[in-house]
Structure 1
């Protein structure tokens, strides 16, 4: 599967007055990981404000050090940018990117939602995920690399879905209202989505961002168990933590009606739609 740079540039050119954070695109067939490649380019002196794209990763990685299966046929993209966020607010970059990408895809009829904290879901199945890595100096984030993996036409596990198959099925349905998005157009929308989310965070603030993020969050209203006590997911706070309202209980382990769960402390499943 070849990636067509000209098609990507044409897709980006349509919104050039909007997309200007990323001034250059570096395209590869195979890399160890696009995040690693982005960091290597930064070390070589390339200024932040670029994207790296590949269709295969040999050592892709996901959240919490997990290996990300990256077969040929997927879209793997990393964006390198400057940042001035405090280190304890770093997760806002992931939230902003997830919302921006989901919103961009929704705008073209691909009704992507978000599974907390960093997964993109379509019809209840995992379409992709986001991994943000940062460089910190004196408690401030100075540089960030936002990595995005999207299932394009690669095989997926039972909980996954690839976009090309989904679009084909939609185009064969009388209910279809979306136009077909090519691989290059998808990459453009990912780049635009990252910028869209980051601009919202920087210009409108985290409260506005979170209100929009939560509207696309599939986990709102979902029941979870914390120390065997039931609660309901009601939101996400600026640190990226999941805000949970605990049900009333006689258990001594429930000392407050609300708790916040940090990313990585609880695993949420996928809810498939009928």
Structure 2
């Protein structure tokens, strides 16, 4: 299934994408697409519905983030060998873990706001993993049973805040609108191998990122097991698993986002996002 959320900001309803590309309203069957409704049993109930029996949602309706009420938005840095190489960094001996604040989450096609004074805001197309079953000290062999689905993430990053100021990466990663999620939450039955997906990102029509999840260093079962050593993972948590090469910081010379530019990005089988960059000073 391709599950989604639609409607005005803060008032999103759950839906699904049918085989003809039409959005269908699921709100008669669950109040939202959040952690409490992402378990395998609930997803099986939704999968048994006949989409033709569900109301059609108008095609121009806004898409919200594909998961509501996210508890933790966890991200992994330098997790693609070719991206680590372009930044001049060593592949880390353990996963690099940082936070994206949940207030950064927005819809897949919402505007991206440049923080006031920002000069080095960058893009990163990433594979997101959404947790559907809680766990601590999860065994790697059992990790996939904890996955509700996968989605596209744009891990937008202000590089000066992230790398040139003291402290952790977090303050350059969690600004408002720096975490578009979606368009869809795609259930695992439609993603037989999440480590063999093409992924790409364009700015103003120029393709900067053109990679694959094949070059992921620490793979999803390991990441889930690793993270669960340090925190419980809860239904609705999102893990953003790293980016392939082609980020703005890696260009020669570096290239960063400016107001008025547009981003288009996607992952094979998981859909596309489109965002316009807006200067926060104008708001």
Q: Return the TM-score normalized by structure 1.
A: 0.28
Q: Which has the higher helix share?
A: 1
Q: Return the TM-score normalized by structure 2.
A: 0.27
Higher normalized contact order (CA 8 Å, seq sep 6+, divided by chain length): 2
User: Which has the larger Rg?
Assistant: 1
